[in-house]
Chains A and B, each alone.
Chain A
Amino acid sequence: MLSDNRIKAPVQDGVVNQLVQASKVQDWDPSAMLDNLSFLEQKIHQLQDLVHLIIGRKGQVLGRPDELVVQQQQLVTADLTSIIVQLISTAGSLLPSGKHTLPAATPSLEQSGQFGGVVFPSAQGPLNDGFQPQNAGGSKVSGLPNSVDISRKNGNEQNHIIEEHELKDEEDVEEGESLIPGTYEILQLEKEEILAPHTHFCTICGKGFKRDANLRMHMRGHGDEYKTPGALAKPNKESGSEPTIIKRYSCPYTGCKRNKDHKKFQPLKTILCVKNHYKRTHCDKSYICSRCNTKKFSVIADLKTHEKHCGKDKWLCSCGTTFSRKDKLFGHIALFQGHTPAIPLEEAKAPAGPSDQGDGNQSTNKVGSMNFNFSSNVSSESEVQSSTDIKGSIDDPAGYFSPLSFDTCNFGGFHEFPRPPFDDSESSLAFLLSGSCNYPQKSED
């Protein structure tokens, strides 16, 4: 959470503007409000009766099982929920006129302090525009697990929140784009804005979201007026007809090529680009890969991407650089004088002890499955790989093997997998193990 109140303001304001537009259709109606209030009153009375009833019965049903109690509790919860929802939606209709007072009445008010920011006029328009490419980017990631997290809220209401997965739409993407300077508007966000975890905030409860779409989903809980197609639609769809000025972003870091004052300024296309660029280039790399303990990232998505491939870079140069592909390694060696491919230490010893091949394999299999169990906790990707294929599990670093199983592990077991002739099982595995653990060799007997 951020302590500075003002940071949120521009973004929040953009959302507010948009909401204003959405709610313009149904203006505040005092009679409707009265209806709602009377309905609430009625509902509260009903609830009161119910609770009284429960209290009255309590003495009689002592011996009964908890079943009834549970049922009653559910009933009360349902009623209460309904009341709360009604209350919120009623309050919501008051929003346009009293936005500064309302948040105090909302149930979840952790972020109330963030309201009441200063409006940055320059950011107002662009931010509305800024959502669109972001959303467009969202559809781009269809390849990724676009997992819809169904989170229950208030029992009968479900909020569909698109799980936040930072897009990797690089700054490089629009590298080839050649916009003539001056034909587009340059916007520059402040460092604090860029580093803020959320960009979209609920104007009612103050909850922050990374995506506008998620916010709109969330808004449905605040009343029927947010459930209309107009309110749920992408805010820019309707304004798409009028020609908008192209918006591009500048990095606030002076001296950066992405900064508008730079001689060869190259603008960033979207807010997300700005964020990723700023974090990658001008921030500390605080996310460290837990597998290799060497690679550091500033964007968590980069770490996740790396983790998918970590440990697969089995082509190692004598200089310590690793490569995922042999041809890349050979290209590297051809380029630099004196560099040679590194040969894992264990490789030569690995073929020893062929007599215990049979037993060794069994234990290898065990290790493989064990590894699967371990790795599934860590990342879902490796789970998919290793569930059927032991080879897949080899790719996981040694750290995931049970320390106890080291001495029973035997390379020979992997021989049975037909693999491309150059993928030498011993070497690849031995390499993986060589760095991270001291591999005890089975003596030939």
Chain B
Amino acid sequence: MSPFQSNKNILSLTEDILVRIYEILVSESDRKSFRLVCRDFHRIDSLTRKHLRVLRIEFLPTLLHKCPRLQSLDLSACPRIEDGVVSLLLSRVGPGSNSLSLGNWTRGLKRLVLSRATGLRFSGLEMLARSCPFLESVDVSYCCGIGDREAAALSSAVGLRELKMDKCLRLTDVGLAKIAVGCLKLEKLSLKWCMEITDLGVDLLCKKCVDLKYLDVSYLKVTNESLRSIASLLKLEVLGLMVCPLIDDVGLQFIEHGCPSLKVIDVSRCEGLSSSGLIFVVRGHGDLLELNAGYCLPELSTALLHQIKNLKHLEVIRIDGARISESSFQVISANCKSLVEIGLSKCVGVTNMGVMRLVSGCINLRVLNLTCCRSITDAAISAIADSCRNLVCLKLESCSMITEKGLFQLASFCLLLEEIDLTDCCGVNDRGLEYLSKCSELSCLKLGLCANISDKGLSYISSNCKKIHELDLYRCRIGDDGLDALSTGCKKLRKLNLSYCNEVSDRGLGYIGRLEELSDLEMRALHKITGVGLEAVVAGCKRLADLDMKHCEKVDDSGFLSLSYYSRNLRQINLSYCAISDTALCMVMGNLTRLQEAKLVHLRNVTVEGFELALGACCERVKKVKLLATLRFVLSSEILETLHARGDNHRSWCTAAQLTCCLILRLYYERQPLSCHAHGNPPSTEHRQRTVEMAKFPHYLSSANFFTIGRFIDGRPILVACNQPQVH
């Protein structure tokens, strides 16, 4: 058979068969290869595609038209999706000459990810909710502007089972009530950081949505009353109560007698709890699978231990930060045989003997976190390696007494190891890495602050651990040769940290440029690199999405110009302390159309005009900009207003929450009364300095939000006298 004929045969395969073949392909890269074969294959890919994650909004209409069987649409990576875009997408008549009916794509849609779609408002959400009849899952987390009205719009999706609303700062009980009444089938709801939600809302939710299986009310100011309501949920399996400072043991007592299906509970960082509260929970739920009680217990008391003993099915326990005795390990290991994950991060009293006793019983352990358990040595590691052959993840940060012997044991027995954190383990050297390289499944390796490793050690890893996709070499003495080896071996590398590896030069970056998969590169303070190195990186790593080159002061404009030319996929950039010029900054900010976040602090060669132009060029797209606070007074009001309006519909033009928080924190700690000229008369010049910066955040100054932020600070609300401007 001639090659031509065989080729024809492949092309003559029917659609059905092609679809069959396509369905066999699992990995994303294989599918990519498949669809790049020819138009027909590409069409098959589009026709059968169920999930779509869109990176560029301009292709969205075409993509949606081509993929009729879409079930899941992820728009979280789109720089700006607004109500207008949504209405365009849903319009029956397509854009331009091809009058396609675009509305069809919503027919089968079940899952919609709109996380961080800060431009979306109720009209857009309402259109989406109405046009997707089978919508089951919506993620609107971190859409800080979402409030009650948006919630009301979402509530028209009656079939909703899963809803994620983390950090919808404007959502109040009223919005939650809308959802509770509208989406009665809700099974999974996350309300993290929705600071306005109170007991009333939670109570109503628990009364209306009785099918709830997953409820996360972390970081809310809910009290025991909420727990009383939650206890009535018969189907609840997962309950997140992280950082709920107002709940205490009494609340957990309600849980003891309620929530019969409870499997997972997370009460970490709940300040009000003591071990007696946990005793209630554990006593009431013998089938508990996961108990997360990190940083809420001063010590693992014997009474609590006695109860935990009865949890025969317990798989995950995290008691980070607690004091724990050696005998406790014995009890856990003897009784909780099914433990898969133990978190002992920053626990006091974790000794070699303790770990040995623990692993002697828990042989199914897959994840073990021993971060900052500084007293453990190779003996403990040997015991772990000996017992837990299924270990997948081991975190040993700051366990500086571990040496190559421990790693030898580990690598000899734990061949399934995928992730190991050896940050700040000074005992690890090149030989240790040589042993470790036997773990060929390794995908995540953290070697930050390990001063004793060199290019040689890295070459061992590179040659054997082909699956590594995350590597942290922060402040390691790695040179260009090590990177050479890395780039030839670890082709799958996606995330690399080279910060403060001072020996790396342009040659090394040239090797980095070979890593095609690299999307996340941190290379702070590489003093030897210049524009040539940067050009090599950006020209090679086409997928680069996040670049941090703070303090790379030798990089010149040629590098930045090539950055602006090549890195079209860049989403985040940190250029602080770089020697970038006005022109280059304008090019970077103007050309990088997917840029969403930029840190531009201390750019000594950039003038105010440069900033004006650069910000003017990017303000259409960018979501977050970090600038020196003083710039606010010299930038023109037009640019400030544009940034204000474009950056986020109602939030401010700068780094939204954090910055405001910082400002308030600063003012708070300086014990200066906030003078809120923000809404009143224009401030006189001498007060301008302090007051105008608040004026830029009028919506953060709205009392509700203000209190919200105020709560972040030591849990104490900041009371601000706003009626009359106070001047000091």
Binding site for B on A (CB under 8 A): 326-327, 330, 333-334, 338-341, 343, 347-348, 351, 354-355, 357-358, 360-362, 412-413, 415-425, 427, 444
9 more A-B residue pairs beyond the given contacts A361-B680, A425-B703, with a C-beta to C-beta distance below 8 A: A330-B177, A340-B152, A351-B649, A351-B699, A354-B699, A358-B678, A415-B702, A416-B679, A424-B196
CB-nearest residue of chain A to B178: A340
User: Given A327, A339, A343, A419, which contacts B152 in the complex, CB threshold below 8 Å?
Assistant: A343
B682 within 8 A of A: yes
A421 touches B707 (CB 8 A): yes
Please, which residues of chain A bring their CB within 8 A of the CB of B173?
326, 330, 422
A416 touches B703 (CB 8 A): yes
- What's the A-B contact tally at a CB cutoff of 8 Å? 120
User: Given A340, A355, A360, which contacts B645 in the complex, CB threshold below 8 Å?
Assistant: A355
B181 touches A327 (CB 8 A): no
Tell me the bound Cα distance from A327 to B204 in angstroms: 10
Given contacts A334-B204, A351-B650, contact A341 B177 (CB under 8 A): yes
Tell me the bound Cα distance from A416 to B178 in angstroms: 28
Tell me the bound Cα distance from A421 to B171 in angstroms: 11
Tell me the bound Cα distance from A354 to B645 in angstroms: 8
Cross-chain pairs A/B with CB under 8 angstroms, 13 sampled: A334-B204, A340-B178, A340-B182, A343-B149, A343-B174, A347-B148, A348-B150, A357-B678, A412-B702, A417-B722, A417-B723, A418-B719, A425-B704
A347 touches B147 (CB 8 A): yes
Of the candidates A351, A412, A444, the one having the most CB atoms from chain B within 10 angstroms of its own CB is A351
B172 touches A424 (CB 8 A): yes
Contact with A along B635-661 (1 / 0, CB 8 A): 000000100110001100000000000
User: Given B200, B682, B721, which contacts A330 in the complex, CB threshold below 8 Å?
Assistant: B200
B644 touches A355 (CB 8 A): yes
A421 touches B704 (CB 8 A): yes
For window 432-458 of chain B, which residues contact chain A by CB distance below 8 Å?
none
Nearest-CB distance from B210 to chain A (Å)? 12
Nearest-CB distance from B415 to chain A (Å)? 54
Contact with A along B120-160 (1 / 0, CB 8 A): 01100000000000000000000000011110100100000
Nearest-CB distance from B105 to chain A (Å)? 26
Please, which residues of chain B bring their CB within 8 A of the CB of A419?
703-704
Tell me the bound Cα distance from A418 to B719 in angstroms: 7
CB-nearest residue of chain B to A389: B723
CB-nearest residue of chain A to B153: A348
B612 within 8 A of A: no
Please, which residues of chain A bring their CB within 8 A of the CB of B198?
422
Please, which residues of chain B bring their CB within 8 A of the CB of A354?
644, 650, 698-699
Please, which residues of chain A bring their CB within 8 A of the CB of B698?
354, 357, 412, 415
Please, which residues of chain B bring their CB within 8 A of the CB of A416?
676, 678-680, 701, 703, 722-723
A348 touches B121 (CB 8 A): yes
B720 within 8 A of A: yes
Please, which residues of chain A bring their CB within 8 A of the CB of B708?
421
Category for how many chain B residues contact A: 35 or more
Nearest-CB distance from A387 to chain B (Å)? 14
B204 touches A422 (CB 8 A): no
Nearest-CB distance from B175 to chain A (Å)? 8
A422 touches B196 (CB 8 A): yes
Please, which residues of chain B bring their CB within 8 A of the CB of A423?
704
Tell me the bound Cα distance from A362 to B681 in angstroms: 7
B681 touches A330 (CB 8 A): no
B195 within 8 A of A: yes
Q: Is the interface of B mostly helix, strand, loop or mixed?
A: helix
B178 touches A415 (CB 8 A): no
Nearest-CB distance from B693 to chain A (Å)? 14
User: Given B172, B175, B679, B707, which contacts A361 in the complex, CB threshold below 8 Å?
Assistant: B679
B203 within 8 A of A: yes
Given contacts A334-B203, A418-B720, contact A362 B680 (CB under 8 A): yes
Contact with A along B670-703 (1 / 0, CB 8 A): 0000001011111000000000000100110111
Nearest-CB distance from A249 to chain B (Å)? 43
Tell me the bound Cα distance from A360 to B149 in angstroms: 24
B679 touches A330 (CB 8 A): no
B679 touches A444 (CB 8 A): no
A333 touches B676 (CB 8 A): no
A444 touches B149 (CB 8 A): no
Nearest-CB distance from B578 to chain A (Å)? 32
Given contacts A330-B200, A354-B698, contact A415 B679 (CB under 8 A): yes
B679 touches A333 (CB 8 A): no
Please, which residues of chain A bring their CB within 8 A of the CB of B122?
348
Tell me the bound Cα distance from A338 to B208 in angstroms: 10
Tell me the bound Cα distance from A361 to B208 in angstroms: 40
Contact with A along B155-191 (1 / 0, CB 8 A): 1000000000000000011110110011000000000
Nearest-CB distance from B203 to chain A (Å)? 7
CB-nearest residue of chain B to A424: B704
Tell me the bound Cα distance from A334 to B209 in angstroms: 11
B668 within 8 A of A: no
B706 within 8 A of A: yes
Please, which residues of chain B bring their CB within 8 A of the CB of A343?
148-149, 152, 174-175, 178
B703 touches A444 (CB 8 A): no
Tell me the bound Cα distance from A358 to B681 in angstroms: 6
B195 touches A421 (CB 8 A): yes
Closest 10 CB pairs of A and B: A415-B702, A361-B679, A416-B722, A348-B149, A421-B707, A341-B174, A351-B650, A340-B181, A330-B200, A357-B698
CB-nearest residue of chain B to A316: B174
B207 within 8 A of A: yes
CB-nearest residue of chain A to B722: A416
User: Given A338, A347, A358, which contacts B680 in the complex, CB threshold below 8 Å?
Assistant: A358
CB-nearest residue of chain A to B677: A358
Please, which residues of chain A bring their CB within 8 A of the CB of B645?
355, 444
B208 touches A334 (CB 8 A): yes
Nearest-CB distance from A266 to chain B (Å)? 36
Nearest-CB distance from A368 to chain B (Å)? 12
Please, which residues of chain B bring their CB within 8 A of the CB of A341?
174, 177-178
Please, which residues of chain B bring their CB within 8 A of the CB of A360?
679
Please, which residues of chain B bring their CB within 8 A of the CB of A327?
200
Please, which residues of chain B bring their CB within 8 A of the CB of A351?
649-650, 699
User: Given A339, A418, A427, which contacts B174 in the complex, CB threshold below 8 Å?
Assistant: A427
Tell me the bound Cα distance from A423 to B703 in angstroms: 9
Nearest-CB distance from B698 to chain A (Å)? 5
Tell me the bound Cα distance from A421 to B181 in angstroms: 23
Tell me the bound Cα distance from A339 to B174 in angstroms: 12
CB-nearest residue of chain A to B700: A415
Nearest-CB distance from B95 to chain A (Å)? 26
Given contacts A330-B173, A347-B149, A418-B719, contact A425 B682 (CB under 8 A): no
Please, which residues of chain B bring their CB within 8 A of the CB of A348?
121-122, 147, 149-150
Please, which residues of chain B bring their CB within 8 A of the CB of A427?
148, 172, 174
Given contacts A341-B177, A416-B676, contact A326 B704 (CB under 8 A): no
Please, which residues of chain A bring their CB within 8 A of the CB of B678?
357-358, 415-416
B699 touches A418 (CB 8 A): no
Tell me the bound Cα distance from A333 to B181 in angstroms: 8
Please, which residues of chain B bring their CB within 8 A of the CB of A358?
678-682, 695
Please, which residues of chain B bring their CB within 8 A of the CB of A355?
641, 644-645
CB-nearest residue of chain B to A355: B641
Tell me the bound Cα distance from A6 to B182 in angstroms: 64
A326 touches B200 (CB 8 A): yes
Tell me the bound Cα distance from A340 to B155 in angstroms: 10
Please, which residues of chain B bring their CB within 8 A of the CB of A338?
181
CB-nearest residue of chain A to B200: A330
Nearest-CB distance from A186 to chain B (Å)? 47
Tell me the bound Cα distance from A361 to B681 in angstroms: 8
Nearest-CB distance from A430 to chain B (Å)? 10
Please, which residues of chain B bring their CB within 8 A of the CB of A412?
679, 698, 702
Nearest-CB distance from B704 to chain A (Å)? 5
Please, which residues of chain B bring their CB within 8 A of the CB of A333?
177, 181, 204
Please, which residues of chain B bring their CB within 8 A of the CB of A421?
195-196, 703-704, 707-708
Of the candidates A338, A348, A423, the one having the most CB atoms from chain B within 10 angstroms of its own CB is A348
